[in-house]
Amino acid sequence: MPGSHLPLLEEGMARWPFGPPNAGIALDFTGAPPALDELRALVEERWKALPRLTQTLVAPGARAGLAWWTGRHRWARADGHALGRQVDGVDDTLRDAVRQWFHTPFPADRPPWGLHLLRGSAQGEFSLLFRMHHSLLDGRSLTTLLRALFDDGRPLDGAASLAVPGPRRRTARAARAAGGPPGLLRAGRPVPLPQQGAREPAYALVGLRSDVLRAAREAAQGRAATTNEVFLAAVSGVLRSRLPEHDAHPGPDGVPRPVWLSVPVDERPDDCGEFLGNAFANVRVPAPVTLADPAARLTACTGLLTTVTRARSASERLVEGTLAALPGATMALAGGKIFAPAYAPAACSYVHLREQGQTLAGRPLRGLNIVPMVPPAGTATFALGGCTQGHTLSVATNSGGQDATLLAEAFLTELAALAEWGWDRAPSDTGRG
């Protein structure tokens, strides 16, 4: 809400120590790009009632002063700000834009978001990139905004955009394979990344073959896995391949320290689906890195992350309120733990649009790409973007300039290994020839 202090999650992202906390989603379309005036008019029409998009972010004080440690960021009103001013066209591809923009802070005097019309990767294509400061919006918010721009969209409702999820929220069930969720500061095993090239943030983007992804879903025992379960299993295989040979198996007591995957879970209950802001929790689940069989890893990930809507307990609300009261001190005390590679060497985020036949001014949607924030040093973020036309994988690293590409290639290898199991199983288990 304008004028209010940031909640703990958004405050933490505003204090992100690894670079500007910028993230985004790019939609790829087939056809000639629309005129900028047409796009600006569409944004003004469909997003005109959304207070969230006219706010600026105000810092608590100088980073070296006491206010930085005890104060909190807040949102300030920018009434009368024309949303069309946030829309522009740039003769860059998505990869160019990531290199240029995602390491550059937003100006302090403007709302921290932008919608950019980009050149496509081939003739007759273009991309529409929404980039933002992550304290402003989460991935679910972006899909809500972008859906509204499609030809079958409608203006978004201002009241619904402010409907903050209350005591009842969607939360993740305890992970059976780990015997329950880990403690807040419980560490696991770090996973060494390639560390190839200069130590700097890097970003890679690859397309996934639809037939390979479909076959990979058939590799699980018992039932076809979901795309998200295949995603987690393939990332687990990548992490296993990075562990030293002797470290990929159980220790003498048979209980090695787990390798944790950090997965954002949308906390919106059904009646708050159009809330714009940040309403997610990062949940840690165990990566089955001790299993050598790709299909066994997929089976271990099946049902690993399920959600239920429930009321938050009084103790949960008390802890959240206490931590939020002193955000600077909380980040200073916890940062060494929660940003360490042993806490979660990889984060996995999946954003998708399920609707068929989406078009923007008559141009068909052909792909969705995610650009995550710069991750903590020595960790990687794997982000899967999907629509009915296919899926793309984005990888972000902060360890070596070549690491994102190397890990993306390793993911494709793991996905292909799962697909081989699915194809082998198809004649007897699924009836496909």
pLDDT score recorded for residue 426: 64
pLDDT score recorded for residue 422: 87
Q: What is the mean pLDDT of residues 183-187?
A: 79
CB 376 within 8 A of CB 341: yes
Q: Would you call 54 exposed, middle or buried from its count of C-beta atoms within 10 A (0-12, 13-18, 19+)?
A: buried
- Is the Cα torsion angle 347, 335, 130, 93 positive or negative in sign? negative
pLDDT score recorded for residue 430: 43
Q: What is the mean pLDDT of residues 286-304?
A: 93
Please determine, for residue 316, whether its predicted confidence score (pLDDT) is greater than 80: no
> Which DSSP helix (H) or strand (E) runs through 90?
strand 87-90
Strand order in the sheet with 125-133: 87-90, 113-119, 125-133, 22-30, 363-371, 359-360
Please determine, for residue 431, whether its predicted confidence score (pLDDT) is greater than 60: no
Other Cβ atoms within 10 Å of 403 Cβ, number? 25
What is the SS3 assignment for 352? strand
Burial 419-433 (b: 16+ CB within 10 A, else e): bbbbbebbeeeeeee
Contacts 24+ apart (CB under 8 A), 225-230: 225/298, 225/301, 225/302, 227/350, 227/352, 227/384, 227/386, 227/391, 228/305, 228/350, 228/384, 229/298, 229/301, 229/302, 229/303, 229/304, 230/298, 230/301, 230/415, 230/418
Residue with tokens 């090239």: 197
pLDDT score recorded for residue 184: 72
Higher pLDDT, 361 or 4: 361
Q: Give DSSP secondary structure letters for 219-245.
A: TSSSSPPPHHHHHHHHHHHHHHHHS-G
Report residue 172's pLDDT band, with 50, 70 and 90 as the boundaries: confident
Q: Report the percentage of the chain scoring pLDDT > 70.
A: 89
pLDDT score recorded for residue 335: 72
Question: Which amino acid appears at position 63 of this protein?
Answer: R
Angle at which helices 403-425 and 294-301 cross, to 10°: 90
Report residue 252's pLDDT band, with 50, 70 and 90 as the boundaries: low
> Which segment of 119-128, 301-310, 419-428 scores lowest on mean pLDDT?
419-428
Higher pLDDT, 103 or 222: 103
d(CA 373, CA 43): 25
Mean pLDDT of the chain: 88
pLDDT score recorded for residue 433: 33
pLDDT score recorded for residue 429: 45
Name the token pair of 363: 């141009």
Report residue 432's pLDDT band, with 50, 70 and 90 as the boundaries: very low
Report residue 103's pLDDT band, with 50, 70 and 90 as the boundaries: confident
Q: What is the pLDDT of residues 370-392, one digit of tens each?
A: 999 999 999 999 999 999 999 99
Question: Which amino acid appears at position 111 of this protein?
Answer: P
